[in-house]
């Protein structure tokens, strides 16, 4: 092996280490609020124990409720029974025994209708 080949190895190792560290940091940043996962989309099904959401990425995700789950619309508390199919929703959830359980559920305000927008 000549000296010119060994000089090229060190920068490659540095780039590889930088790539690994970058991926680790991005994973940490993507895991929001101390390990909570965000589920964002539209409600397709709701029951007393869970809500099913079609995410903005097109996936279907079920998120359970527990006694500590809080619910709100426009920063005002609401009841779980206020959640309806078609609502836009943002859920902050944790993984409990390989299932998502909601910590907070935020319902979006109703979008302005075309008729109301004309006035």
Quote the pLDDT of residue 30.
Answer: 43
**Region class of 41: left (phi > 0), else alpha (psi between -120 and 50), else beta:** left
Q: For residue 65, with 0-12 CB atoms within 10 Å meaning exposed, 13-18 middle and 19 or more buried, which class applies?
A: buried
Quote the pLDDT of residue 98.
Answer: 87
Domain 37-107: give its CATH architecture: Beta Barrel (2.40)
In the chain, where the domains are located: 1-30, 37-107
| 84-106 confidence digits (pLDDT tens) | 999 999 999 998 888 999 999 99
| 51-88 confidence digits (pLDDT tens) | 999 999 999 999 999 999 999 999 899 999 999 999 99
- The runs of H, that is alpha helices, within the chain are 3-30, 114-118
Identify the sign of the CA torsion 54, 61, 104, 85. Answer: positive
The predicted model scores a pTM of 0.64
């Amino acid at each position: 092996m000549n000296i010119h080949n060994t000089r090229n190895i060190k920068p490659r190792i540095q780039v590889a280490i930088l790539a690994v560290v970058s991926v680790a940091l991005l994973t940490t940043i993507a895991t929001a609020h101390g390990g909570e996962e965000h589920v964002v989309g539209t409600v397709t099904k709701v029951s007393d124990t869970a809500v099913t959401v079609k995410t903005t990425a097109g996936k279907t995700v079920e998120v359970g409720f527990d006694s500590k789950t809080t619910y709100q619309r426009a920063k005002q508390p609401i009841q779980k029974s206020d959640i309806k199919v078609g609502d836009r929703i943002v859920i902050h959830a944790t993984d409990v025994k390989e299932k998502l359980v909601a910590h907070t559920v935020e319902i979006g305000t109703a979008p302005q209708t075309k008729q109301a927008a004309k006035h």
